[in-house]
Amino acid sequence: MNEEIPEQTGAESEDGSEELYQRFTYTIDKGQEPLRIDKFLMARIEGGTRNKLQRAINTGMVLVNGREVKQNYRIKPFDKVVVYSDGTPESTDVVPEEMPLNIIYEDDHLMVLNKPAGMVVHPGSGNYSGTLLNGIAWYLKQKNPDITEETLPRFGLVHRIDKNTSGLLVLAKTDIAMRNLAKQFFDHTVQREYRALVWGNVEADSGTIIAHVGRNLRYRKLFDAYPDGDHGKEAITHYTVLERFNYVTLVKCVLETGRTHQIRVHMKYLGHPLFNDDTYGGDRILKGTVYARYKQFVENCFAICPRQALHAKTLGFTHPATGEPLFFETELPADIAGVIEKWRRYGDRAANSE
């Protein structure tokens, strides 16, 4: 059997990438004997139990030659098998917890939320409660007490954003919606636009950053950019300058891919780390003369926005049931809006003093 290297789009850490699903593709050798599709996949996907694979088949997450199949389908020579699989490791059960949720939109198929900064999306090591998904689980179980992670994995989460990034997330409420949205994310047809305040004066009015993103070879909790593509996964970020404040710049970032820490890593690679990003060096003065008054100003800005200045501002996708295009937009949260205004006033005073 000739197997293609699995194409993967998956988060490698809890406060990591947006896209949670990975795609495996297999091209069947001409000598392959007929074999049930679930048995074939059990031998090839790590952690692929029969129950999980049968569920994936029944919900349309397994395609053969571009079409959905039934559990009893037997693979044939030259079949092309595509499997969309949850790329996250097994985690603890999601315990429902009542908490306030900022729900932007909801219908019978999906919901769109505006996540605050500081909230982890999914339970994991060191974060077993208080996550967004704990709140989602409680909310959905009030509407349908029979819903579980078995009936709707991770209560419909198909992507996520960093703990200290704010902004829009979409969750599925049905298997069909989950399958459809996962495919839209993988196929890069979802529109995602971010606002980021970065250090330095970004010279070009717009540009595209193309550099693989992967784990740092020495420090496994960090990610790095690999422009030669010799490590990590392909990552593409388009950016446009919205406003310049001499020492910092407000940019719009549009993602083609959703890799772990992609914008944060790509902007650092460009030479412009995100303002107050304590993971990638933006939590110290990187531009401007360090005299007492300026240092105090920057420290005041850090206090106003005590996290990386990054917000998932817009989200657009096709409705999984109706085919209708949906588009959502949020205002900048108070901390980012406040620090932008502070820099704007600082720039105006500097210009008037010249």
Question: Active-site residue 228, yes or no?
Answer: no
- pLDDT (0 to 100) of residue 33: 87
Each residue's pLDDT tens digit, 213-247: 998 888 878 999 999 888 888 999 999 999 999 99
Rounded CA separation 17/9 (Å): 9
Q: Which CATH superfamily is domain 103-187 in?
A: Pseudouridine synthase (3.30.2350.10)
Fold for 21-86, please state it: 3.10.290
Q: What is the mean pLDDT of residues 1-9?
A: 39
Does pLDDT of 7 surpass 70?
no
Given a contact cutoff of 8 angstroms between Cβ atoms, the answer to whether 301 and 308 are in contact is: no
In this structure, what token pair is assigned to residue 273?
A: 């780390």
- Residue 126's pLDDT is 67
* pLDDT given for residue 182 in this prediction: 87
CA distance 244 to 4: 46
Q: What is the pLDDT of residues 289-344, one digit of tens each?
A: 889 999 999 999 999 999 999 999 999 999 999 999 999 999 999 999 999 999 99
Per residue, the 3-state secondary structure of 148-207, as one string, reads CCCCCHHHHECECCCCCCEEEEEEECCHHHHHHHHHHHHCCCCEEEEEEEEECCCCCCEE
CA dist., res. 258 & res. 161, Å (int): 9
Say if residue 72's pLDDT is above 60. Answer: yes
Active site residue: 162, 224, 277, 335, which one?
A: 162
DSSP H or E segment with residue 134: helix 132-143
Q: 4-31 burial string, b = 16+ CB within 10 Å, else e?
A: eeeeebbbbbbbbbbbbbbbbebebeee
Higher model confidence: residue 7 or residue 253?
253
CATH entry, 193-312+334-353, from 2.40.160.10, 2.40.30.10, 3.30.2350.10, 3.40.50.970: 3.30.2350.10
Q: Would you list the domain boundaries of the chain?
A: 21-86, 103-187, 193-312+334-353
- 98-148 pLDDT, tens digit per residue, is 999 999 999 999 999 999 999 999 887 667 789 999 999 999 999 999 998
| End-to-end Cα separation, the chain, in angstroms | 72
Do the domains spanning 103-187 and 193-312+334-353 agree at the CATH topology level? yes
**Alpha-carbon span 289 to 295, nearest angstrom:** 9
pLDDT confidence of residue 125? 66
Mean residue pLDDT of the chain comes to 87
pTM for the structure as a whole: 0.81
Highest mean pLDDT among 2-6, 9-13, 247-251: 247-251
Q: Is the pLDDT of residue 2 over 50?
A: no
Q: If you search the block for the tokens 């531009």, which residue do you land on?
A: 287
